[in-house]
């Protein structure tokens, strides 16, 4: 058996030049992501997987911190109905 060689050449056409989202769109995207993580966290608790619960709780906390960073001087998700995603 011979060794196969794979050559990968960089292509510049595959990357899009993305512009960062506006603050409100970014906060909305983070809010939707937070809900997804919360749903996964609930499912991990139901399954009894403590390690996964811990990992997802940390991820949820990081999302909350990032959201708070978008709006300095306020706590993340204060005054927002977090029961349903927007």
List the chain domain ranges: 22-70
Contact 34, 68 (CB under 8 A): no
DSSP letter, residue 11: -
| Residue-wise pLDDT tens digits, 31-44 | 899 999 999 999 99
Determine if the pTM surpasses 0.85. Answer: no
CA distance 20 to 27: 12
- Pick from 81, 41, 84, 83: which is nearest to 61 by CA? 41
pLDDT grade, residue 76 (50/70/90)?
A: low
CA distance 28 to 85: 9
pLDDT grade, residue 6 (50/70/90)?
A: confident
Higher pLDDT, 21 or 26: 26
Sign of CA dihedral 86, 40, 81, 58: negative
pLDDT at 2 over 80: no
């Amino acid at each position: 058996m011979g060794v196969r060689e794979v050559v990968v050449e960089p292509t510049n056409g595959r990357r899009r030049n993305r512009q960062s989202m506006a603050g409100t769109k970014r906060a909305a995207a983070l809010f939707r992501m937070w809900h997804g993580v919360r749903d996964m966290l609930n499912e991990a608790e139901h399954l009894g997987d403590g390690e996964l619960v811990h990992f997802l709780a940390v991820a949820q906390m990081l999302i909350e911190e990032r959201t708070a960073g978008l709006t300095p001087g306020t706590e993340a998700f204060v005054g927002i109905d977090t029961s349903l995603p927007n």
